Amino acid sequence: MSGNGFGHTFRFTTFGESHGPAIGCVIDGVPPRLPLAEADIQPWLDARKPGQNRFTTQRQEADQVRILSGVFEGVTTGTSIGLLIENTDQRSKDYGDIKDTFRPGHADWVYEQKYGLRDYRGGGRSSARETAMRVAAGAVARVILDHLAPGIMIRGAMVQMGPHAIDPDKWDWDQRTENPFWCPDSEAAKGWEAFLDGVRKSGSSTGGVVEVVASGVPAGLGAPVYDKLDADLAKAMMSINAVKGVEIGAGFLAASLSGQDNADEMRMGADGRVRFLSNNAGGILGGISTGQDVVVRIAVKPTSSILIPTKSVDRHGNEIEVITKGRHDPCVAIRAVPVAEAMMAVTLADHLLRHRAQCG
């Protein structure tokens, strides 16, 4: 258990480096008889794919996924699903000059500390390239959710770029695919565009905040103590490259509130079902879903791969200044959106199957 897998009952394990021949994963625990084809996975990969506009790294990857097993005559068989994506646009020579240098804010130095060596080409295993397999596994998780808990919808949006947060009142889900930032307010997105052009031209980078909302989640998913639904979501989200914070519902704001202001009061709905008057809990109480929207926000740091010189050291103990050329994202938070959605999907699918095991 060296950390390359996620989930218990729905579990996927990934492999692959940024500049190796391919990346892939094995997914274990998928229920049988669910329709599944490459066409169910590819669109999500396409949405994550870099190089689609000037605001993401210009690496061009086809990201064509192949299903190697676990599907027969168009449906899942219940056996493990192997997925593979060949890498096609590695330019390892771009990275020759960082072979002996440690980039501040990157995993370069700690990999050497832990393992005594590192695959320096494009960050090796620490590269965001790995997130393609998260998105692929997430697509399979969505198929499970669609069939076993129909009505769940998982959507992510970028709600803050650098210091510029959106106005929640202007949130319009329909807008988020109308701009290059998954921003649910196209007006705000215009401001971000100018801001990010400035960042990019200055050779710098910026952070951002991403919110993922899962609606239609049935009440009762989760577990009481250590595998709380929110605990597993926190792990899932914090495991995404560059994420430094995770909030559920009101999150850090809840620390400032009084008990009565934070409480989500309950009434009976016209349909005879319980309804909540607010959702500070973010759809999770005591580690178990309430049936409200599950709301998670994550803080994404600015990438350290910038053209502005930063102080560092090399493998020989020399003090140096580092400039990272290569192909990089001025705001990696943008590409974190589909990845965070995927991690929501896999976490929910895992807990859905776990719930079936224990509660039928």
User: 126 a known binding residue?
Assistant: yes
CB of 184 to a second copy, least distance (A): 17
Phi, psi of 180 (to 5 degrees): -80, 10
User: 103 a known binding residue?
Assistant: no
- Asked if residue 84 lies in contact with residue 68, where contact means CB atoms within 8 angstroms, the answer is yes
User: 165 a known binding residue?
Assistant: no
Q: Between 333-359 and 131-148, two packed helices, what is the crossing angle to 10 degrees?
A: 40
CB of 46 to a second copy, least distance (A): 22
User: 303 a known binding residue?
Assistant: yes
Which of 8, 38, 47, 327 binds a second copy (CB under 8 A)? It is: 8
Distance CA 205, CA 236 (A): 24
Stretch that binds a second copy, among 35-43, 44-52, 57-65, 261-269 (CB under 8 A): 261-269
- Asked if residue 70 lies in contact with residue 79, where contact means CB atoms within 8 angstroms, the answer is yes
What is the DSSP code (8-state) at residue 243? E
Site string for a second copy, 42-61 (x = CB under 8 A): --------------------
248 is a contact residue toward a second copy (CB under 8 A): yes
Contact positions with a second copy (CB under 8 A) in 296-315 = 299-306, 308, 310-313
CB of 90 to a second copy, least distance (A): 13
Query: How many residues sit in the footprint of a second copy (CB under 8 A)?
Result: 153
CB of 329 to a second copy, least distance (A): 10
180 is a contact residue toward a second copy (CB under 8 A): no
Stretch that binds a second copy, among 42-50, 169-177, 186-194, 274-282 (CB under 8 A): 274-282
Task: Please say which residue, 174 or 273, places its beta carbon nearer to a second copy.
Answer: 273
Indicate the pairing of strand 284-285 with strand 288-289.
Answer: antiparallel
Smallest Cα–Cα separation from 339: which of 210, 249, 217? 210
Distance CA 179, CA 168 (A): 17
User: 241 a known binding residue?
Assistant: yes
What sections of 24-97 are H helices per DSSP?
Answer: 38-48
Distance CA 307, CA 260 (A): 49
Tokens of 219: 């009440």
User: 127 a known binding residue?
Assistant: yes
Contact positions with a second copy (CB under 8 A) in 197-236 = 199, 204-209, 219-228, 230-236
Smallest Cα–Cα separation from 239: which of 113, 126, 124, 118? 126
Give the sign of the dihedral formed by CA 86, CA 91, CA 92, CA 95: negative
Tokens of 226: 């250590």
CB of 89 to a second copy, least distance (A): 17
Q: Which residues are annotated as a binding site?
A: 48, 54, 125-127, 241-242, 286, 301-305, 327
Q: Which residues are annotated as a binding site for FMN?
A: 125-127, 241-242, 286, 301-305, 327
